[in-house]
Amino acid sequence: MNRLFGKIVFITGATKGIGRSCAFSYAEKGATLILTARNSELLDALKEELVRKYGIKVYSIVMDVRNSLSVETAVSSLPDSLKNIDILINNAGLALGMDKVYLATPTDIDTVVDTNVKGMLYVTSAVVPLMLKKNSGHIINLGSVAGDAAYAGGAIYCATKAATKAFSDGLRIDLVDTNIKVTNIKPGLVETNFSNTRFKGDAKKAKNTYKGIDALTPADVADVIVYTTTLPENVQLTEIALTPNKQADGRTVHRD
């Protein structure tokens, strides 16, 4: 039984990494997709590829999750037929640098916090009222094992992922009298463009992040997310941590 056929799935940060893999995984299951990102060219290319390959309905929105007005406008402008959102995947996120926290620039601090925390809050606050109208839905927040324990050079990013956990838990409490589920997905090392962004284009530093370990792929994480959203209505997975073999937690990694 395909529980996802015809479901409406809203994905932020959809053009790269885990978001992109989620788009393909849900498209393969016959879901209708609402994809958002800041880069219109990448968004258009992704939409075209998904429609061509799977023949599904894809609605794309150029949106900056850091801007509350951008989010409100994007969600309110959805066609009525797409406002019955079944699954929200708050995937947009990033890290910048691995300096000691007091050396980070205000601009980098704002970018990370505004994207990872405020962006998640803005999108969730815009989508939850739509889910409440039909008293059903599933919110997936992309956290990280970094939210469980800080590591050197990651104080700001780790703080945002700790916030993701706290927000997910609080939102679940707020929605406990409804049929809306909330799940915090916490990956360990996933080989994506994440490290390239963190090191601001330094490909050598980015590659060293995954040296000596068979890191998770975006598709691995997408598979877990899809599984989480296909369980029976009475089953809610509140939190899932996943790491590659030879990574114990956010700070302990064995490299060959």
Q: Where are the alpha helices (DSSP H) in the chain?
A: 17-28, 40-54, 68-76, 106-113, 119-134, 155-174, 194-198, 203-208, 218-228
**In 151-163, which positions are buried (b, 16+ CB within 10 angstroms) versus exposed (e)?**
eebbbbbbbbbbb
Rounded CA-CA distance 30/79 in Å is 19
Question: Of 29, 161, 181, 186, which is the active-site residue?
Answer: 161
Active-site residue, 59 included: no
Residue 36's nearest CA partner among 78, 3, 4, 5 is: 78
CB 223 within 8 A of CB 243: no
**Residue keyed to tokens 């919110």:** 139
Of the listed 157, 181, 186, 210, which one is catalytic?
157
Q: How far apart are CA 31 and CA 19, in angstroms?
A: 15
31 burial level (CB within 10 Å; 0-12, 13-18, 19+): buried
Cβ(25)–Cβ(223) below 8 Å: yes
Catalytic residue check, 161 = yes
Gyration radius of the chain's alpha carbons: 18
Residues tagged active-site: 157, 161
